[in-house]
Structure formats: C-alpha cells, structure tokens
Amino acid sequence: MTKGQTTQNILLAGACALGVGLFFGGLQLRDRTDPLQRVQRREASNEDLLASRDQKGTEIPLGDFYNAMTDLLKHEYVEAITDDQKLASGAVRGMILSLGDPRCTFMDAKEFRAYLNARMGNYEGIGAEFGLRGSAPTAQKTASSAEPSDDPREAIMMGHVPYLAVTMVVPGGPADKAGVKPGDIVSDIDGHWVVDDAEIVRFDKARKLFADKKIPFATVSKLQKDLRLKVERALMPAKAKDRLALGTMGQVAVVWKRLGVSRKTVIQKAPSAIVPFGVKNGALAFRFDSQAAGWLKEAIKGKPEITLDLRNNVDGDFGAMRKVLAVVAPDGTYGTLTTRRHETPERLTVRDGNAHAPKIVLRVDRTTRGAAAIFARALESRHLATLVGGKVGDDLSVKEVIGLPDGTGYTLVTSEYRPSGDAAKVALVEDKS
C-alpha cells in the first residue's frame, strides 16, 4: 500500500464518518424545524378505535383521533367529503370556541382577510372596530357545553352571550360620519335583534317572580312573546359583526345603544383607512408594525421632547411595539407579562434602548388598545411619559395571530401585561444585575 493510498483511505473513512454524522444531523435539524410532525410509526386504523368490550375507557392518541374521525366521516357520512382542510380548520374553530374567551376569535376566510387588512389600516364595512364584551372565563368550559353553535336559541340556553360593542371608529369613515362613538353597543341590525343576555336575564327573573306568584301570568307571557319574536330574528354577535365590518357595498340600518339610550342610523358601507404614519397637530401618529421603529427613530432624531398620538390604535403588533419601546425608552424592566398557567411571569424588558430618551407626551383614550395600551402603560409606569386625553382601553392582552392554510385564522391570547407596581424598586434591582 502506498502512502498515497493510505491517505486516500483515511480520507474516505473520514468522509464516511462525516456522512453518517451529517445524516443524524439532518434528522435532528428536521426535528427542530417541525417538531410537531414526528412521523407516526403506526397509523391507527379506524377499527382500532371503535369500541370493543376489552378496551373501553382507553385514551385515544391525538393524531389517531383525528385520522380515525376523518376515516369514519369519509366512509360513513351521507355526503362526499372532499375538503380535508375544512375539517381541520373546523377542529381548530371548535377548540378556540371551547376556550369561551371573548378575546380569542376564530375567523372564516372572509373575516380573516378583513382582519388582516384592518391591521394594515384598511377597513371595509362601516369603518369601525368591534369587540365582544362579556365576562372573561375563569376556566375552560366543558366540551359538551361548548359545542360550537350558531343557533341563537342554543346559545341563549347556554347563557353568557357576549355583546357587541364599538372599540374604535375610523376617523372620517362612514361610521364616524354617522356619529358612532367608541363604546356604543350594537342592539339591532336591519331588523335583526343582536343577542344580548341582559334581555334573557330579565326574562328569567320575571319567570321566577311568576313562579313565586309575585307577578301575573300576563306579564311573563308578554315578555316571553317579545323574546320569542326577537329570537326568531336574532343575530349572534359574531355574525352581526360581519354585517357591519365586511363588504364595501350596500347599506345597513343599525340601532345603537349608548348609556341606555337607543339611536337608529342608516349607514352606507365604503372603504376607509387610517394613515399609517404621519404628523397631526404636532403629534406623531403611527401604527405598531414592522416599519414603526425605523420610522419613529428618524422622526424623533435630535428632539428633546415628543408627542405621540396613540388614539385609534387598536390592534398593533406586540413584537413591533417592543422595538418601538426601545427607540424611545432606556434599558430596564417595564412590567410583566403574566399568565394564569402557574408560571413565573416574563418581564417586559428593553435592551439596547435609548439612553438619551426624550420627554414624552402620549395622547390616549379608550381607543388606545392592545399593544398601544401596553406601550402607554409601560412608559407611564416608569414615569417616562405623561398621558393626556383620557384612560387607555382596558385591553392589555398580548395576542398571537395565526393563519391556517385554507385562509381562515384566529387570535390567541398568550399573556396579560401588568405594569410594575413599584417602578423605582424594579429599576433598582435591574441596575444591580
């Protein structure tokens, strides 16, 4: 064997070893890229999951459950099933609805497209943002009671129907021109009652009073008749929202409630928009998106004092907000992101912040929501900004926005922001570390 051959053999062995290493490296890498898709070595067949005597009560693995159900439907359901993705997004919809959380919304393809456009400042319909208000859940509802239902009668029986309220009105848009204000409650659209459980609670009370013989039957009977007529032409809040927020053609007749007073308007739908970045009355207005930090950095260059207008700022991107915070504020902790999952809360921190932070005035009101509200409360908690105008909105939740392959999508609340109670103390701890 020549020296050259030995070298060649050693190199070859090395190459083989490297090849094997790369093979496992590739496996590892793939696991990390999509950890949720580990190959299932054994696909369960339909028959395995259908009950037989000896197996009752056995838990079915998640993936098998899905496959088994798809198989079952494909073989047995009365109509042909052609769209698997529709089944999958139906499943996601069911899971989101089961959370019973008005802050998490599943949207069909039309709604999701409009939602994404609105995040970019472009609105359809009457030009407003809406929120479902109601008691936030204390625990996940049981699956049986959370059966997804569009039937108002069922929803009413289950109780707790959130009501639909305006959270923001696009300046100069159709709703604005019609005098709609944030906080207005939608109570009727084109003659359809928008379900609101106050009405049902009133009826239940009357029924109890009647059972105790405190009011005559005629009173309950009238309430029941009214309610039945309403229910026959009822709109669930989510559907009602579609009628107001989708499309740019046609008009809607809406009855609004403000402080118990009803007001009827007829509004022509038309496209409307919020200008993403601009200077208005000496204040900088912007949207929390990927370009915000860069734009603001330029806009405040060399200014010792700035005014930011955070009104009509409802659904900003949380990640973008963190970057904007670093543009105007120094390093430190600005509160916590808490969850109710028994974990230590994550800190909202700024690194590589602005050491020469300007004096900041923030114009806010209740249309300052989500990321914008967190931004305002974060700066306020460290006494880095003066808030003028009003109270910020009560929505301090951090949301993920997830799109599904068939164009549908949903929002998922991942944490709640809490401003630090004793800002100075937190800063001190931070400095020591």
**3-state SS, residue 369:** coil
> Binding marks (x or -) toward another protein, 409..428, rule CB under 8 A?
---xxxxx------------
Token representation of residue 296? 């603001």
Residues 127-186 that bind another protein (CB under 8 A): 137, 139-140, 142-144, 146-148, 150-152
**Would you state the torsion angle of the CA atoms of residues 217, 219, 220, 221, taken in this order, to the nearest 10 degrees?**
80
Quote the distance between the C-alpha of residue 381 and its chain's center.
25
- Asked if 13 is part of the footprint of another protein (rule: CB under 8 A), the reply reads no
d(CA 379, CA 138): 30
CB contact set of 19 (below 8 Å; sequence gap of 6+): none
Stretch of residues binding another protein (CB under 8 A), selected from 268-276, 339-347, 359-367, 378-386: 339-347
CB of 339 to another protein, least distance (A): 5
Q: Return the structure tokens found at 163.
A: 């009501």
Pick one of 6, 7, 9, 221: the residue that binds another protein (CB under 8 A).
Answer: 221
- Nearest-angstrom CA–CA distance, 310 and 314: 9
Span of 29-37, 246-254, 258-266, 282-290 interacting with another protein by CB under 8 A: 29-37
Q: Considering only residues 1, 2, 4, 34, which one is a binding residue for another protein as defined by CB under 8 A?
A: 34
Q: Is 1 in the site for another protein (CB under 8 A)?
A: no
Supply the minimum distance, in Å, between the C-beta of residue 337 and another protein: 9
CB 101 within 8 A of CB 413: yes
Extract the tokens encoding 166. 């305006």
Task: At 363, give phi and psi (nearest 5°).
Answer: -90, 120
- List the alpha helices (DSSP H) in 181-302: 197-211, 217-232, 237-245, 292-299
Using CB under 8 A as the binding rule, whether residue 24 contacts another protein is answered as: yes
Q: Contacts with another protein in 361-420 (CB under 8 A)? A: 397, 400, 402-405, 412-416
User: In terms of CB distance, is 142 or 386 closer to another protein?
Assistant: 142
Q: Which is nearer to another protein, 301 or 340 (CB)?
A: 340
Residue 214 in contact with another protein, rule: CB under 8 A: no
- Of these, 2, 3, 42, 57, which contacts another protein (CB under 8 A)? 57
Among 7, 10, 45, 81, binds another protein (CB under 8 A): 81
Nearer to another protein, 340 or 432 (CB): 340
By C-beta, is 239 or 297 nearer to another protein?
Answer: 239
| Residue 49 within binding range of another protein, rule CB under 8 A | yes
The first and second tokens of residue 195, run together, are 């379900």
- What is the Cα 331 distance to its own chain's centre? 29
Q: Per CB under 8 A, does 33 bind another protein?
A: yes
When asked if residue 3 is in the footprint of another protein (CB under 8 A), the reply is: no
Upper half-sphere CA count for residue 394 (Cβ side, 13 Å): 8
Structure tokens at 354: 């602005």
Shortest CA distance to 118 belongs to which of 245, 292, 294, 267?
Answer: 245
- Cross-strand partners of 417: 337
Binding status of residue 253 toward another protein by CB under 8 A: no
Q: Which of 66, 183, 263, 354 binds another protein (CB under 8 A)?
A: 66
Q: Which residue number, 22 or 266, has a Cβ lying nearer to another protein?
A: 22
